[in-house]
Amino acid sequence: MRRAFAIARAEMLILRRNRWLFMATLIMLAFSLALSFAGSAPTGTLGVDMLTVSVASMTTLSVYLAPLLALMMGFDAVAGDRDRGSLALLLAYPASRAEILLGKLMAHLAALAVAMCIGFGAAGAVAVWFSGAGAESLMALGRLVLTSILLGAVFLVLGYALSALCSGATAAAGLSAGVWLVFVVLYDLGLLGAVVMDSGGIFTQKIFPWVMVANPADAFRLWNVAASESVALYSGMAGAASALPGWAAPLSLLLWPALGFVLACAAFRRVEP
Amino acid sequence: MDNAKSPLQIRALDKFRGKTQVLHGIDLDIAPGERLALLGHNGAGKSTMIKAVLGLIRHEGGSIRICGAAPGSAAARAATAFLPEAVSFHPALTGHEQLSLFARLAGERADIDGLLERVGLGEAMHRRIGAYSKGMRQRLGLAQVLLGRPKLALLDEPTSGLDPISRQDLYAIINELAEQGAAVLIASHALTEVEARTDRIAILRKGVKVADDTLAGLSAQAGLPVRLRVQASGAHADRIAVETGGRRINGASVEILCSPQDKMAELRKIAAMGDAVADIDMVPPRLEDLYRHYSGEDRR
C-alpha cells in the first residue's frame, strides 16, 4: 500500500504539472455552468426548483463527459510508460503490478473528484443562489457528484485494461474512443432499435431494463433519476427506472469498477515490457 | 560454485520468442564484487537475458537465482538494481521527484540530494526531466542504481550517449558498486571500454554463450596471433619480408603475424638483422580481435 501511495503521489504531480487537472476542472466548470444557465428557462412550467433542473441536465452531461475524461487519463497509464521505455525499470522495483495500477487509480480518481466537485458544485451554488433549494435537490446534487466519480472510475479501469492490451499509446487512444462510443452512444441506440422492433413485447417488458442497467453509463443515469422523482420526471426516464428494483443501478455501478480493475490487472500481468 | 547466496546464478536458461529459440542453455555466475562484461551483437540475446533475470519475461527452461530467490520475487527485486538501455522517465517530473519515487518504491530512506550530487546532477535536480539531455537522463538512471546498496546491478549499455568524461565517472561509480560487494553485469558494445574495466568477459552469439573467461584466459584459448610491425631502414623492407615471411604493408614496413609462443624467437631473428630494422611495434590481440573471433566473424 505504501508503494501504491508513492505511485499516486508521483501521478498527482504529473497531472498537476501537465495542466491536466486544471483543464479537466475548467471543462467541467464551463459545461456545468452553461447547462445551468441554459436550463433555467423552463423551471416555471414544470414547477420544480432550478437546482433540480440543473441536476437533471448535468446528469445528461456527465454521462458523456465523465467517461471521456476518465478514458483520456486512463489510456496512457501502461502504454505511455511502455512507449517511453520507462516501464521495464518501474517493474524492476518491488511494487506489484496491481499496486502500480492502484496508485494510478487513486491519483486519477482524485483528479476527477476535484474536477467534478468544483464543476458541479459551482453550478449547484449558482442554482441555489438564484432560486434556493430544498433538501431533496441538494441530495440529488450530492448523488450526482458521487455517481459521476464512480462512473469515472469505471472508465478509468477500462482505460487501463485497454492500455495494457494495446501495443502502443496511439492504438490505446483509438480503442478508448471506440469504447466511449459503444458504451455512451451506440449501446443506447441499439437498445432503442430493439425496443422499436419488439413494439412492447416481452423484451421491452422484462429484459430491456436489465440489459440497460448492465451498461454503467445507463446505470448511472438510472441511479440518478430513480432516486429523485422530480429529476426522473424532468429527464423522462421514469418508465425504465420503475421497472427495476432499486438496488439494480447502484449494484451495476459499484460492480463495474471492481470487475474492471481485476480485468486491468490481468491484462497488465500479461505485458512483457 | 553452487552457492545458494550467489548474487546471480543462471543454469541452462532457455527462452523462446514464438517458435524461435533466442537463448540456448545459458549458464552464468557472478560473484560478489565481480564486474562481468556481457558482449554480443544486437539481437544476440543480452537484453533478453537481463529481462529474464529481472523476472520481466518468462523463460521456458533452466533456472535463475538471485541471491537464492526466484526472478521477479520481492526478495530478488529488492536485491537487484537495473539500468535499462537508453533509460527514460516521465518528462513532467523533476529528477529529484523521480528519484524520490524510486526510493519510496524500494522502501529506502536514501539521501536523494547526495545521490544526485554524486552523479553530477546537483544543479539540475529540480528541473524537469523533459529538459534533460540524454547524458543527464543516463546519470539519473545511474543514481537510481545506487539506491539501497544492490547485491546485483544489471547495466544495459550504460555508456550509450555519454561523453568521454561522463564515461570515466560512470566507471568510477561502477567500481564503487563492486567495492561495496555488488555483482555488476555490464552489457555493452563498447569493447575498448570494458576491456580494462571488467574482471571477466562473457560473449553471446545468437543466444549461445560462446566464451566466458578473463581477458587473458580468452586470449590464451583463442590463440590469436601477435602482430609485429617492423619498420625497415633504407631499402631493406623486401629483404626483411622474405626472411621473416611477413607481409609488406607500405614502402618501409613489414607486418608479421606469429603465435604467442613464437613471439620471442621471431623477435630475436629480427634483432639479428642489425641496422636493417629501424623500429618495431608489437600489438597483442585486443578484445576487439577476441570478440571477432568468438562472435564468429572470423569463421565466415
A100 has pLDDT over 90: yes
pLDDT for the residue numbered A247? 87
Q: Which helix (H) or strand (E) holds B106?
A: helix B95-106
Q: What is the DSSP letter of B223?
A: T
Instruction: Please enumerate in sequence order all residues whose Cβ is within 8 A of that of A3, keeping only pairs 6 or more positions apart, or say none.
Output: A94, A95, A96, A99, A100, A103, B104, B105, B107
Q: Residue A93 in 3-state DSSP?
A: coil
Interchain contact A88–B (C-beta under 8 A): yes
CA distance linking residue A262 with residue B254, whole number of Å = 73
Interchain contact A98–B (C-beta under 8 A): no
Q: Which residues of A touch B101 (CB under 8 A)?
A: 6-7, 9-10
Nearest to B144 by CA among B183, B186, B181, B95: B95
Interchain CB distance below 8 Å, B107 and A91: no
Q: Which residue has the higher pLDDT, B251 or A164?
A: A164
CA distance linking residue B11 with residue A221, whole number of Å = 59
Interchain contact A185–B (C-beta under 8 A): no
Confidence of residue B1 (pLDDT cuts 50, 70, 90): very low
Q: Which residues of A touch B99 (CB under 8 A)?
A: none
Instruction: Please enumerate in sequence order all residues whose Cβ is within 8 A of that of A93, keeping only pairs 6 or more positions apart, or say none.
Output: B77, B102, B105, B106
Interchain CB distance below 8 Å, A18 and B92: yes
Nearest chain B Cα to A269, which residue? B56
Q: Which residues of A touch B46 (CB under 8 A)?
A: none
Instruction: Please enumerate in sequence order all residues whose Cβ is within 8 A of that of A25, keeping only pairs 6 or more positions apart, or say none.
Output: A114, A115, A118, A119
Beta-carbon contacts below 8 Å between A and B: 75
pLDDT in tens, B185-227: 999 887 878 888 889 999 998 889 988 988 888 888 888 888 8
pLDDT in tens, B112-131: 999 999 988 999 999 999 99
pLDDT in tens, B53-72: 999 998 998 999 999 999 98
Confidence of residue B300 (pLDDT cuts 50, 70, 90): very low
pLDDT for the residue numbered A46? 54
What's the complex ipTM? Answer: 0.86
CA distance linking residue A29 with residue A23, whole number of Å = 10
CA distance linking residue A52 with residue A37, whole number of Å = 13
Confidence of residue A240 (pLDDT cuts 50, 70, 90): low
Mean pLDDT of B130-159: 91
Interchain contact A102–B (C-beta under 8 A): no
Q: Residue A189 in 3-state DSSP?
A: helix
Interchain CB distance below 8 Å, B141 and A89: yes
Interchain CB distance below 8 Å, A85 and B88: yes
Mean pLDDT of B82-104: 93
Interchain CB distance below 8 Å, B102 and A93: yes
pLDDT in tens, B78-92: 999 999 988 899 999
pLDDT for the residue numbered B250? 77
Nearest to B202 by CA among B33, B13, B58, B37: B37
Confidence of residue A238 (pLDDT cuts 50, 70, 90): low
| Complete DSSP assignment for A129-185 | HHH---HHHHHHHHHHHHHHHHHHHHHHHHHHHHHHHSSSHHHHHHHHHHHHHIIII
Q: Which residues of B touch A94 (CB under 8 A)?
A: 74, 77-78, 105-107
